[in-house]
Amino acid sequence: MGKITGSCQCGAVRYEVEADPMFALHCQCLDCKKSSGAGHITAAAFPAEAVRVTGTTKAFASPTDSGATATREFCPECGGRISFRSSAMPGMLALTAGSMDDPGAITPVIAVYHKRHVAWDHLDPSLPVADTVPPRG
Ligand SMILES: [Zn+2]
Ligand SMILES: [Zn+2]
């Protein structure tokens, strides 16, 4: 896979990734709706040390329903969502698919928090879904 690059809408924040994604998913949770303004967010997870971000992001941290802390980072100029971290997965940094220069470069393999999905938010029906976040292993 080629190097993944991306930016926010205004271009003040850019990133490059030196690794392939560990996995990619759709998340239909309430916080992803509120932060994206859409029915779900699509993101790919990478080893955090492989992601180089230029420009300054602003972060918003909130508790997840499993007791972890989720941190969503965005451009303070245009508000574009860039990345996501969870205290439950240290060393992981997820990048939003929509911020990638080529969002088609990643392949989501699951939809999580499907129990929160909105009826009009249709995804590939062949994708597995999970009611929350499944244990990984
Ligand atoms: Zn921006
Ligand atoms: Zn979510």
Domain boundaries in the chain? 4-116
- Give pLDDT, residue 135: 63
Cβ neighbours for 90, distance < 8 A, ≥ 6 positions apart = none
Q: Which ligand is nearest to the CA of 82?
A: 1
Taking ligand 1, which is a single-atom ion, which protein residues have CB atoms under 5 Å away? Answer: 8, 10, 12, 75, 77-78, 80
Nearest ligand to the CA of 80 is 1
Ligand that lies nearest to the alpha carbon of residue 112, given by its number in the listed order: 2
User: What's the pLDDT score for residue 136?
Assistant: 58
Instruction: Please state whether the predicted TM-score (pTM) of the whole model is above 0.75.
Output: yes
Quote the pLDDT of residue 132: 84
Measured from the Cβ of residue 12, the count of other Cβ atoms closer than 10 Å reads 16
CATH of 4-116, one of 2.170.150.70, 2.60.120.620, 3.90.1150.10, 3.30.300.30: 2.170.150.70
Our measurement of the distance from residue 109's CA atom to the centroid of its chain's CA atoms, rounded to an integer in Å, reads 13
What is residue 49's DSSP assignment? G
Q: Which of 109, 94, 103 is nearest to 45 (CA)?
A: 94
Instruction: Give the pLDDT confidence score for residue 137 in this predicted structure.
Output: 46
Spacing, Cα 111 to ligand 2 middle (Å): 10
In the chain, which residues have pLDDT < 50?
137
